[in-house]
């Protein structure tokens, strides 16, 4: 692909999908968000609107900019509406079979053979997704971080089949259009950030599980002793215990040299609905889900 990306598609409107749509709209791009069913469109609209409202409240966006951005958004349940997109970001569940189905469907729909297909996966191999398409040279990973509007980094993941043009278009979208920092990484389990972060977080979970120290003391140890802005267990609550567990399990399957075992406590917390801030209870209790 040559030139700038103006027409962006986002598949999925959960936390990551909504965040990517929000920053793309704020960058002045034309955005279409694909949801799984027509009855999901209103919830998607509310989620993205809530992000705009927070930005306005914090003085990061004017009401007029909010209105203009909303006018560039279309939410649809019909994948054919993504046919003219120059770049599509997949942001669905962290499950290989689910993502592969999305990539196959997008491959069949996108009219431009050079349109970039990107995945937000944080634990799966991008090459496995590329292999389900007829255009593996156009497939990249774009690993955004949560919350997308405030986190400055995106990992751009390139497979051995990604073309120079697709790599350049993806990096220009992230850096020039969205104004975020880029680190380029090859396609390996966990890429750069999660290959370092996930083992650290799981060590904190094991420490808590074994009764070595309480949650507050573990977190204070890392914030006060190492200068980290947030302790590991508080970070897990913010990310979501279910989200992190899915990432850890994916890394266990794809990179057993990095992850040997997922702590049983995590799967138990998911089963009990203790997912962190979004349910009001994780390693800490919260006044309300957020």
The confidence score (pLDDT) of residue 2 equals 47
Calculate mean pLDDT across residues 247-270: 85
Give the start-to-end residue ranges of the domains of the chain.
Answer: 7-186, 195-279
| CA–CA dist 201, 206 (Å, integer) | 9
Q: Single out the catalytic residue among 143, 163, 166, 281.
A: 143
260 to 91, 193, 197: CA distances (angstroms): 26, 18, 15
Closest CA to 66 of 53, 79, 78: 53
Tokens of 145: 């971080």
The tokens of 111 are what? 């009219």
- For the question of residue 194 being annotated catalytic, the response is yes
Mean pLDDT on 128-132: 96
- Say yes or no to pLDDT of 1 above 60: no
The secondary structure element, H or E, covering residue 8 is strand 7-11
For residue 249, how far is the Cα from the chain centroid?
16
Q: Which tens digits make up the pLDDT trace of 200-226?
A: 999 999 999 999 999 999 999 999 999
- Contacts by 236-240 with C-beta closer than 8 Å and gap 24+? 236/201, 236/204, 236/205, 236/276, 236/282, 236/283, 237/276, 237/277, 237/282, 237/283, 237/284, 237/286, 238/146, 238/276, 238/277, 239/146, 239/276, 240/15, 240/275, 240/276, 240/277, 240/278
- For 165, half-sphere exposure in the C-beta direction (CA atoms, 13 angstrom radius) is 15
Q: Which of 24, 66, 94, 122 is catalytic?
A: 122
CATH, range 7-186? 3.40.50.720
Pairing assessment for the beta strands 139-144 and 153-158 based on DSSP bridges: antiparallel
Q: Is 102 exposed, middle or buried (0-12, 13-18, 19+ CB in 10 A)?
A: buried
One of 22, 90, 94, 155 is an active-site residue; which one? 155
Cα dist. 94→30, 91, 129, 232, 234 in Å? 26, 8, 12, 21, 22
The answer, yes or no, to whether residue 255 has pLDDT greater than 90, is: no
Cross-strand partners of 140: 118
Sheet hosting strand 30-34, strand order edge to edge: 73-76, 30-34, 7-11, 87-90, 116-119, 139-144, 153-158, 181-186
Q: pLDDT of 23-71, one tens digit each? A: 999 999 999 999 999 999 999 999 999 999 999 999 999 999 999 999 9
Report the CATH number of the 195-279 domain. 1.10.1040.10
Quick check: is 143 catalytic?
A: yes
Q: Is 281 a catalytic site residue?
A: no
Neighbours of 179 (CB within 10 A): 11
Active site residue 290: no
Residue 275 has pLDDT above 80, yes or no: yes
Q: Which residues pair with 119 in a beta bridge?
A: 90, 141
**Section 137-144 average pLDDT:** 98
Contacts of 271 by beta carbon, 8 Å cutoff, 6+ apart: none
pTM of the model: 0.90
């Amino acid at each position: 692909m040559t030139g700038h990306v103006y027409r962006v598609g986002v598949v999925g409107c959960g936390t990551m999908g909504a965040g990517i749509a929000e920053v793309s709209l704020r960058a002045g791009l034309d955005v279409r968000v694909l949801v799984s069913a027509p009855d999901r469109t209103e919830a998607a609209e509310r989620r993205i609107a809530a992000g705009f409202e927070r930005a306005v409240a914090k003085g990061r966006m004017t009401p007029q900019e909010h209105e203009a951005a909303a006018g560039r958004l279309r939410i649809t349940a019909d994948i054919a509406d993504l046919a003219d997109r120059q770049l599509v970001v997949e942001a669905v569940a962290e499950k290989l079979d689910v993502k592969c189905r999305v990539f196959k469907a997008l491959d069949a729909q996108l009219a431009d053979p050079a349109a970039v297909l990107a995945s937000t996966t944080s634990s799966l191999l991008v090459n496995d997704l590329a292999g389900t398409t007829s255009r593996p040279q156009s497939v990249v990973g774009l690993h955004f971080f949560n919350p997308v509007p405030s986190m400055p980094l995106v990992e751009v993941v390139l497979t051995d089949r990604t073309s120079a043009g697709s790599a350049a278009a993806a990096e220009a979208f992230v850096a020039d259009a969205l104004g975020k920092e880029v680190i380029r990484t090859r396609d390996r389990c966990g890429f750069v950030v999660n290959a370092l972060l996930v083992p650290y977080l799981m060590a904190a979970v094991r420490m808590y599980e074994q009764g070595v120290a309480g949650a507050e003391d573990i977190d204070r140890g890392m914030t006060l002793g190492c200068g980290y802005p947030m302790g590991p267990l508080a970070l897990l609550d913010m990310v979501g215990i279910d989200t992190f567990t899915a990432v850890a399990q994916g890394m266990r399957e794809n990179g057993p040299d990095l992850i040997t075992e997922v702590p049983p406590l995590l799967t138990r917390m998911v089963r009990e609905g203790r997912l962190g801030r979004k349910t009001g209870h994780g390693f800490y209790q919260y006044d309300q889900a957020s």
